[in-house]
Amino acid sequence: MSDRRDFIKKAALSTIGISTAYVSANATTKGNITLLSNPLKDVKKPIIISTWNHGLPANEETWKQLKKGKPVLDAIESGMKIPEADPKIRSVGYGGFPDRDGNVTLDACIMDHNSDCGSVSFLQGIKHPISVAKKVLEETPHVMLTGEGALQFAKSQGFKEENLLTPESKKDWEKWLEESKYAPVINIENHDTISMLVLDESGNISGACTTSGAAWKMHGRVGDSPIIGAGLFLDNEVGGAAATGLGEAVIRTAGSAMVVELMRQGKSPFDACKEIVERIYKKHQNHKDMPYLQVGFIAVNKKGEYAGYSLRSGFNYAIYDNEKGNRMEDAKFKMEWK
Ligand code: GLY
């Protein structure tokens, strides 16, 4: 296309609020005519928002699957499987840090716009807990399966049992054993749960979480991530929210459910996340967990407004939309790490 025609097209589209990134993703050009494959009302959707740097490749895969026309939960599952399978990501799935006895134990959940959900907790030996959580939603009358029962169910569904403790994680665990001091480190290098929220092209909200949980936890410990209302919550009339950080603090405050309830009362995603982080701070400022406490939330509402907010500095999230593509944003926070 000539520079002049390109300039006129960009100018015309920008006056009606459509970016060139959106056009290249959604348009075909025939002669002088640009055809948008999505109607204008869908300009902002889909929107995918995921916690931490590992959200970027997860968003990429989920977006790809949505654009192929895959059902949204399938697309979310495919995205979450990327960090689950990556041994370099030490807080999710294969290669995750083990508990203090050297066992990798995994938590995950998934929820759709009808409020149907599936979850697994304290699952061992299965690389993709998100896929087992989805099977719980699809194939059982229950919401959550745990431990040995979750493993038996996974095997009955054809999942292969395998060793998830990589040599690197084993080495780190052996080093940790020298002092055996429990103080989870949750920051940008050593991040935590991947939580994902999707506002799809029909305007419906879905989400998921998956994690290996806090490093060096007690055997049997379950965090917030598989708990609907704590690590993840959504109400398709309002919006969705998901958490990262120290699960105990998120469970104590029913974090994600509260963010959604504040949005229902009219708060923006940013104000809702901030208010819950303030509440968590108030309840924990004199708590034994405070020295290492980090929590962060992401939220999106039905209008496509989104935000992230954390207690301490260093939380970021990946956001993918038509307007600006897939990128990282730093969350605002209450306080710097001391
Ligand atoms: N947020 C993950 C966990 O505490 O297990």
Compute the distance from residue 301 Cα to the ligand 1 centre, in Å: 24
Pocket of ligand 1 contains residue 223 by CB under 6 Å: yes
Shortest-distance atom of ligand 1 to CA 214: 5
Question: What's the pLDDT at 16?
Answer: 41
Compute the distance from residue 23 Cα to the ligand 1 centre, in Å: 39
Mean pLDDT computed over 29-53: 69
Shortest-distance atom of ligand 1 to CA 184: 4
Mean pLDDT computed over 21-38: 51
Question: What's the pLDDT at 43?
Answer: 58
Compute the distance from residue 250 Cα to the ligand 1 centre, in Å: 9
pTM of the model: 0.87
Pocket of ligand 1 contains residue 296 by CB under 6 Å: no
Compute the distance from residue 19 Cα to the ligand 1 centre, in Å: 37
Asked if the model's pLDDT at residue 12 lies above 80, the reply is no
Question: What's the pLDDT at 189?
Answer: 63
**Residue bearing the CA closest to ligand 1, atom 4:** 247
Alpha-carbon gap, residue 332 to 338, rounded angstroms? 17
Asked if the model's pLDDT at residue 5 lies above 60, the reply is no
Pocket of ligand 1 contains residue 256 by CB under 6 Å: no
Asked if the model's pLDDT at residue 151 lies above 90, the reply is yes
| Under 8 Å between Cβ of 219 and 99 | yes
Pocket of ligand 1 contains residue 244 by CB under 6 Å: yes
Pocket of ligand 1 contains residue 294 by CB under 6 Å: no
Residues present in the chain in total = 338
Question: What's the pLDDT at 192?
Answer: 83
Pocket of ligand 1 contains residue 226 by CB under 6 Å: no
Q: Identity (one letter) of the amino acid at 265?
A: Q
Compute the distance from residue 70 Cα to the ligand 1 centre, in Å: 29
Compute the distance from residue 17 Cα to the ligand 1 centre, in Å: 39
Q: What percent of the chain has pLDDT over 70?
A: 86
Shortest-distance atom of ligand 1 to CA 244: 1
Question: pLDDT grade, residue 182 (50/70/90)?
Answer: confident
Pocket of ligand 1 contains residue 225 by CB under 6 Å: yes
Pocket of ligand 1 contains residue 224 by CB under 6 Å: yes
Active site residues: 193
Question: pLDDT grade, residue 190 (50/70/90)?
Answer: low
Mean pLDDT computed over 111-133: 98
Question: What's the pLDDT at 22?
Answer: 45
Asked if the model's pLDDT at residue 66 lies above 80, the reply is yes
Ligand 1 pocket mutation pick from 190, 250, 280 by most atoms within 8 angstroms of CB: 250
